[in-house]
Structure 1
Amino acid sequence: MEVIEQSEYVTIGELVRLTGVRYSTLKFYTEEGMLPFEQAEENLTRRYRREESIEMIYKIRKMREEKMTIPEIKGKIKG
């Protein structure tokens, strides 16, 4: 876990371990364009910038707790 916590990039599975957010939720955020990633050419693995992704996940979570809809959240993130 310590290695993951110090890595610049992490996988979606590692984000699950770091944040406690379900895999399906993170996959949804990714597919909706709310959680940016880079894709490694050699094996097509999605890599997320650890610090930025964790920060974004917590922002999204907070907005959801405030009863904001996904379109509202996407508007805030993009705008």
Structure 2
Amino acid sequence: MIENSPYVTIGELVRLTGMRYSTLKFYTEEGMLEFEQAEENLTRRYKRVDTIQRIHYIKTLRAEGKTVPQIKDILSQTK
């Protein structure tokens, strides 16, 4: 069901990507992951496909030794 939904929560992203909740929350707060906020319950919803691809790209950049500021700069150039 989740794999077919266009949007997922941060908890679902944890399960789908294997990343820690705190890491994904940090990336969100740093503006590295875009989200939409549902007004009725203030839940952050992430575009499933785009966000998973972006997380994998961030993982690749981290594996290459890039710092968070460097990654933020790279991501801002690819928008």
Q: Structure 1 residue 30: deviation in Å?
A: 0.1
2:38 corresponding residue in structure 1: 40
Which consecutive aligned stretches of 4+ in structure 1 deviate over 3 angstroms post-superposition? none
Which of the residues 47, 50, 53 maps onto 1:49? Answer: 47
CA–CA distance in 1 between the matches of 2:52 and 2:18?
11
1:60 corresponding residue in structure 2: 58
CA–CA distance in 1 between the matches of 2:72 and 2:27?
10
What do you get for the CA RMSD once the two structures are aligned? 0.4
Q: Say how many residue pairs are matched.
A: 77
Q: Which runs of 5+ in 2 are unaligned?
A: none
- The secondary structure found in structure 1 opposite 2:46 is strand
- The secondary structure found in structure 2 opposite 1:64 is helix
| % identity of equivalent residues | 66
TM-score by length of 1: 0.96
Q: Structure 1 residue 48: deviation in Å?
A: 0.2
Q: Which amino acid aligns with 1:63?
A: L
CA–CA distance in 1 between the matches of 2:4 and 2:76?
28
1:77 corresponding residue in structure 2: 75
Q: Structure 1 residue 32: deviation in Å?
A: 0.3
- The secondary structure found in structure 2 opposite 1:59 is helix
2:3 corresponding residue in structure 1: 5
